[in-house]
Amino acid sequence: MTTFDLPFRVRVSIAAAFAAITFIVGAVEAGDTVQLDFEIADMSYGVVADGWLDPESANYNAIEVAGEAGRRIVSADWSGLVVEACYNDGATATNWASELRLAIRMNGAAGEQFYDLGQPFAGENTGGAKPGDCGTFGPIAGSTLFDPGSAFVTSDGEVAVGAYSTWDDTTDLPGGRIIEGTVVVTLGAAIPGVCGTADQACQEASDGPGCSDATCCATICDTDPFCCDVVWDDSCAAIAIDVCGPPPPTNDDCADAIVIDFGTTPFSTLDTTDDGPALPESCNEGFGVGFGSDIWYLITPDETDGIVVSTCDNADFDTRLAVYASCDGALIGCNDDGADCTGFTSRLAFNGIAGETYLLRVGGYNGASGTGTLSVQTGELPPEYPTEVVARWSVDDGGNGNFYAVKWLGTGSSFATASGEAKFLGGHLGTLTSPEETAFVTGFVGIGTPAVYTRCAFGLVQNPDGTEPGGDWGWVTGEPLDWTNWTPGEPNDNPSPEDFGQVYTAGNWNDCFDDDFGMALVEFDADPGINDGVTWSTSEGGNGHTYRGVIVSPRIDWATARAMAEEAGGHLVTYETQDEAFWVNLNLGTYTSLWDQPDIATGNGGPFIGLENVGGEWTWITGEPLEYDNWAPGEPSGDGTVGRHFSTTGPSDQFNDVPFDSLAKSFIIEFDDGGGGGGGCPDFNGDGVVDGIDFGSLLSAWGDCSGCQQDLDDDGVVGGIDIGLLLVGWGICP
């Protein structure tokens, strides 16, 4: 469901803040405070666009009480709140109780208008059971504490409290009705002039009145005017520590990042701001890219190795992590929810280079803040991207010996289509039965972002007659459902029916309706042989050629890919006919591991192909004419002289022209004689697979290297012949 939120300039209180509210209200009863009572019984509400907060609209529902212009708004408390949320006739789904927001008209950061006051029924993602019905919720109580200096009574002296909904069911009917309830708004005195102007932190004593944090200062001086009238002494500082917490971290800004060593570092993001750049869509793991309340650290490794940065299971809030080359530099890595980490804590890994300094950004999802412990360790990392078309979770690595891949199906595919494709390939829809299996799939197989590939189906399904929303879910294989990884608030069967499982990029689950999938996670109990190549047999009308997808790390240019293909005894793929391109794409090119999988705005780059521009004419490297012209729309655009597969969504057989020196992680080799496999096993890292990681190891030993294992032909030099021998042995070691 989409939501619409008014500007939010208040801090919603939790248990710790409630003590501060009580502290303020109890202390000011003898002083300059006023409490305004709002009876909001029988208040209907709907979306803002329908005029529920517009005084000129017939739908206007706010209650207005006279206050005093310019007074500070300290807090708002609601109690006895009972609401009904309705499933209106003509709507596609019910309004939820959680979509109710209280609102207050005041003078805030955006001027005099209504501002969000609170979400009383957060988490109540339900309403009427069927059209025409309403669900009743409550009673409930809660409160909001406003930051001093952020909220004041408007110039007309009126305070107004109303309600609205964040979801539009398009019926123009009220989304619900507040049956009964009361809101009490507490008005305080003006903020003392010494608050926010002094140099010292509120948690430190000084020889003058006031302190640097206007919010904390006003809170303390409401209770003890001495702190603002005379001097901010040790007693004032002690109260500030109790009420306002420890002073803000000194590494709030990137420019003030603190140098740390490998190991563990306690941290707090409380009362911090957000000065980091917006995250790209590639960091979206299914919950957006909101990142705020951040702090910064610097780490410099002594050795080139993998670096794992983690708050996993060691923070009291929903964390988010990112690593940068510098304050204004490139993003190196990001993570929202780490695989098998509880409480939405985080873990990311990147390849660190000896002597290079990295900036670690620690913050919260959508501005969440709290405390925790940051761990920075060295260790073996998953590859930057999958280095096999089909990945094996080996028994030696604690796995089950099965093979996994993600296959593109096409937008709008059904669950039945996904299941049928998996069976046709000799496998079944993947089952993620443990945190370890999930970590392997997300790290070594890769699930593309829904922004490009739409939803990914996996082997989780609900009995259509089961109890909604969480009853009778199970695996298509019949394995017991002993472990779940539902996204918070899921399953919710909304919009109904949502009887099929979707897995996000980070491995978390969602229930969704049918005919909305774009890819499928496929699991094989035995090696399907795809890494060795697929053969278009003459018996099915083919040419007898074998095609092999190769993924390398690091990325290479087109000329290197061409040389590698030829050293292996083949050539970069050439398509003489539409039938050939269609068959290769269907049987090999639609495995998403071969593709870049970026956000949809930049397009999706696929494998290099044997297409080049010679003398202004596009031709295949084998000399065949370009009779099958399958350029993507708008291509060739003239910005390149070599060919690559390209799409704006999932994998396709379309072409794109790219610069000669551009890099890609994959290419397709065509073996005209139907060969392409059966060599030795140059497995340099001992994982039982010859793949892109071993290619990277070979490149690191390039040149004179007498006696090293990468010198496969024993001529004392690691060169092109060794690349060919590596590719001959590509795939699972026998």
Indicate the helix (H) or strand (E) that contains 167. none
- Does residue 683 lie within any of the structural domains? no
Lowest mean pLDDT among 24-33, 434-443, 504-513: 24-33
The DSSP letter of residue 587 is: I
The β-bridge partners of 657 are 643
Say yes or no: 657 and 600 in one domain. Answer: yes
Amino acid at the residue 679 = G
pLDDT band at 682 (very low <50, low <70, confident <90, very high): confident
Q: Is the pLDDT of residue 32 over 80?
A: no
Say yes or no: 467 and 577 in one domain. Answer: no
- Does residue 113 lie within any of the structural domains? yes
Please identify, among 483, 506, 524, the residue that sits at the C-terminal boundary of a domain.
524
Per the structure, the complete domain to which residue 120 belongs is given by 11-188
pLDDT band at 649 (very low <50, low <70, confident <90, very high): confident
- Does residue 710 lie within any of the structural domains? yes
Say yes or no: 402 and 477 in one domain. Answer: yes
Say yes or no: 645 and 715 in one domain. Answer: no
Annotate 621-648 with b (16+ C-beta within 10 A) or e (fewer).
beeeebebebbbeebbeeebbbbbbbbe
Q: Is the pLDDT of residue 635 over 50?
A: yes
- Report the domain count for the chain: 5
What is the DSSP code string of 72-138?
A: EEEEEEEEEEEEEEE--TT-SSPPPGGGEEEEEEEEETTEEEEEEEE-TTTT-----SSTT-EEEEE
**Dist. CA 85–CA 608, nearest whole Å:** 55
**Dist. CA 612–CA 92, nearest whole Å:** 52
**For position 602, what pLDDT does the model report?**
67
- Does residue 679 lie within any of the structural domains? no
Q: Is the pLDDT of residue 629 over 50?
A: yes
- Does residue 198 lie within any of the structural domains? no
Please identify, among 135, 159, 188, the residue that sits at the C-terminal boundary of a domain.
188
Say yes or no: 78 and 163 in one domain. Answer: yes
Say yes or no: 65 and 141 in one domain. Answer: yes
Q: Give me the CATH number covering residue 337.
A: 2.60.120.380
Say yes or no: 366 and 395 in one domain. Answer: no
Say yes or no: 396 and 372 in one domain. Answer: no
Per-residue pLDDT, averaged over 502-527, amounts to: 94
**Dist. CA 518–CA 452, nearest whole Å:** 9
Q: Give me the CATH number covering residue 178.
A: 2.60.120
Q: Is the pLDDT of residue 339 over 80?
A: no
Say yes or no: 160 and 288 in one domain. Answer: no
- Does residue 236 lie within any of the structural domains? no
Say yes or no: 468 and 571 in one domain. Answer: no
Say yes or no: 395 and 288 in one domain. Answer: no
Q: In what order do the strands lie in the sheet with 371-378?
A: 263-268, 371-378, 305-310, 347-352
Please identify, among 481, 501, 524, the residue that sits at the C-terminal boundary of a domain.
524
Counting residues of the chain whose pLDDT is more than 90, the rounded percentage is 56
Q: Give the global pTM.
A: 0.52
Q: Give me the CATH number covering residue 583.
A: 3.10.100.10
- Does residue 402 lie within any of the structural domains? yes
Say yes or no: 509 and 611 in one domain. Answer: no
- Does residue 279 lie within any of the structural domains? yes
